[in-house]
Amino acid sequence: MAQEITSKNLPELLASGKPVIVDFWAEWCGPCRMIAPVVEELAAEYEGRIVVGKCNVDDASDLATQYAIRNIPTILFFKNGEVVDKQVGAVGKLDLKKKFEALLA
């Protein structure tokens, strides 16, 4: 299950040594609701190998600002604490799975 990402726990997660994926979303966002089940499925599938989290931009506007999130959904892919990839907009599970696999390569 994807965990809630805040400005308090993100630095610790990024320092964990595992790849981290953060889905920036909002409750009022239709495409965010469309992609949410896919993110949850992949979180379960990659549990223990990749940290998957969700960041509500309304609750954590500081993180949205820090990472220049201008459109949602936006998914950031972190490796070694750095953003290495980004997905803006809703996409299918296969497209996201390819990005998850690239993080593990």
Q: Which residues are tagged catalytic?
A: 29, 32
Distance CA 30, CA 26 (A): 9
Q: Cβ atoms within 10 A of the Cβ of 88, count?
A: 14
Task: Give DSSP secondary structure letters for 5-37.
Answer: --TTTHHHHHTTSS-EEEEEE-TT-HHHHHHHH
